[in-house]
Amino acid sequence: MGRRSADIMAQLEIDLFSDIVCPWCFIGSHRLDQVLASEEDVVVNYRTFMLDPTIPPEGESIRDRLRRKYGVEPERAFATVEAAARESGLVLDLSKQTKIYRTEGAHTLLRHAAPKGTQRAFARALFEAHFVEARNISDIDTLASIATRHGFDADEAVRLVRDPEERTLTHQEARNASDGGINGVPFFVFDGRLAVSGAQAVEVLRAAIDRARAPAQKANGAEGP
């Protein structure tokens, strides 16, 4: 067997189910990036999950949503997330983004970024656009402007976001995740068999990678934590 074939077989795949408007997903993705800075032969596949596909086109007040859904004051919820972000070197001010937006357009483009080899960087850019720059990531022009820095041309990005068949495929992928038992994000699947739920610490993610790579576990068909 040639070196190229051996390298392909040694490659570890991580499926990361997340939503762009989920701050814990931003933190979880950031922590995974920190782990992968010292890892080789790892491919991350960003998979579609929608916190709420019924959000109106104009978006919804994050503060109102937190009060209605969780019965907590926004500042209390923000402080918890921001503290977790700081622990990983990620500076967030969640008060900057006042709305939560629909994400089927962003997820549609993320699906098409995978074969371009730009998916991880594009996902990071979308998270930053929403949480750091407080941009409307459901707006077609906004999405197109971000996508052009990650392997798309503007016309291609606009066409994909507007295509009803592409949006249907995106919603189907989100339903597949829910039907598969994923009801919260971020959710990591290592090597198609080891699952880790939540924005876990770097040490937990690194241990999951080590476990997924262990030959003895693969041979024994061991399952995740």
Own/partner contacts of 202-205, CB < 8 Å, gap of 24 or more, are 202/31, 202/34, 202/35, 202/88, 205/31, 205/32, 205/35
Query: For residue 223, is pLDDT > 70?
Result: no
Contacts of 88 (CB under 8 A, 6+ apart): 27, 30, 31, 34, 202
Encoded tokens for 66: 């937190």
Q: Report the predicted TM-score, pTM, of the whole model to 2 decimal places.
A: 0.91
User: In the predicted model, what is the mean pLDDT of residues 108-115?
Assistant: 98
Token readout for 8 is: 């392909």
Model confidence band, residue 69 (pLDDT cutoffs 50, 70, 90)? confident
Tokens of 99: 């709305």
pLDDT of residue 72: 87
**pLDDT per residue as tens digits for the range 75-86:** 999 999 999 999
Confidence of residue 215 (pLDDT cuts 50, 70, 90): confident
Q: What is the DSSP letter of 184?
A: S
For each of the domains in the chain, give its residue range(s) and CATH number, in order of start.
11-220 (3.40.30.10)
Average pLDDT score over the chain: 92
Which tens digits make up the pLDDT trace of 6-23? 444 469 999 999 999 999
pLDDT (0 to 100) of residue 67: 94
